[in-house]
Amino acid sequence: MPGIPELLVVLLIVVLLFGTTKIKSLGNDLGSAIKGFRNAIDNDGDKTELLADEEKPGDNISASISADSKEPVESKKDS
């Protein structure tokens, strides 16, 4: 694992190669990307809550099955 002096040398080389303005713009872009990702996750959670509140198409199936099961089943007899 590199120590602090090695990390400082690497940081100095990166600053010399790219410059502070380029690093700052990369940081801003990364921050806005993370912010957009978090907003998308929050908005998706809101949609999930809305969908949970709505009635789903399969909700009434159990009621219709229990009503149908009370009717007698006619069997076919082979001749």
The encoded tokens of residue 25 equal 């713009």
Distance in angstroms (rounded) separating the CA atoms of residues 55 and 20: 55
Average pLDDT score over residue span 8-24: 92
pLDDT at 43 over 90: no
39 — pLDDT class (breaks 50, 70, 90): very high
Distance in angstroms (rounded) separating the CA atoms of residues 14 and 12: 5
Q: Let me know: does 23 contact 15? Beta carbons within 8 Å.
A: yes
Average pLDDT score over residue span 8-12: 93
User: Which has the higher per-residue pLDDT, 16 or 51?
Assistant: 16
The encoded tokens of residue 63 equal 């009621």
State the pLDDT at residue 1.
74
Q: Is the entire prediction scored with pTM above 0.85?
A: no
